[in-house]
Amino acid sequence: MRRDEQRAIEQKNSRAFIQRRDFLAASAAGLLSGCDWAGERALRRPMMAASRFNDWVSARLFSASRLAPKYDASQRSTSFPNYFISGMTPTLADPSAWRLEIGGLVHTPMLLSIDELRSLARLTYTVKHHCVEGWSAIATWTGTPLRAVAERAGLAREARFVRFDSFDNGYYNGWDLPSALHPETILAWGFNDRDLMPDHGAPVRLYAPHKLGYKLTKYLTRITFLAERPGGYWEDQGYPWFAGV
């Protein structure tokens, strides 16, 4: 297995990204890369403990009320990369049949159509997107605050985490509840004054300016409130779990 092939994360276009997906999944077994050096095995435990510690520090640094810096629409980036893990852009056979399932530790489980979701509440902001790779880009997002959905469904007291599932080949993410209920965490259906495009996660994707891009689940199908911490597609392979910015 050649590490050089692991440029996946560096690739700017999703096609190349996908070609490397299988390699990445394989290398997932080694969170710290190949095991050429025996010391890495010994260090995996302290390193994962450090990653947990960093999640804890990140949660302490996270403010449930601090809002992200805003930009003017004129400052939008002229390009905005798009990623998905499927071989082709995930699309729905019948968009009108799409429902967002809200379940888990809620008093009222729900199935929301896109129109029902849009009618709940709406928030638009122009913010900077931060990718784990190091790039950043400014765009305008419009969506329904997740908080409004959670209030409608009524959270059980034991709910502490949220799991977001997608129809992108099993891609999913796990979030801490405070980040999920932040006023700027939205279920986005609008991008730069237009309906969200399939490349960016249509019909609805998770968006928040306070998380790294890989935490922002696209092609949403289900939101589940949980008592235990869920993993995530990249998180299970070694990427930081909290990933707040």
Cα separation values, 21 from 11, 17, 18, 213, Å: 11, 6, 5, 17
Using CB under 8 A as the binding rule, whether residue 39 contacts another protein is answered as no
Which of 129, 218 has the CB closer to another protein? 129
Q: Which amino acid is at 166?
A: S
Using CB under 8 A as the binding rule, whether residue 54 contacts another protein is answered as yes
Binding mask 125-144 for another protein (x = CB under 8 A): ---x-xxxxxxxxx------
Using CB under 8 A as the binding rule, whether residue 79 contacts another protein is answered as yes
> What is the total count of residues that contact another protein (CB under 8 A)?
50
Cα separation values, 240 from 78, 93, 97, Å: 29, 34, 35
Region near another protein per CB under 8 A, out of 64-72, 106-114, 152-160, 193-201: 64-72
Using CB under 8 A as the binding rule, whether residue 9 contacts another protein is answered as yes
26 membership: H or E segment, kind and range: helix 21-27
| Site residues, another protein (CB under 8 A) | 3-4, 6, 9-10, 24, 27, 30-34, 46-48, 50-51, 53-54, 58, 61-63, 66, 68-69, 77-81, 128, 130-138, 209-210, 234, 237-240, 244-245
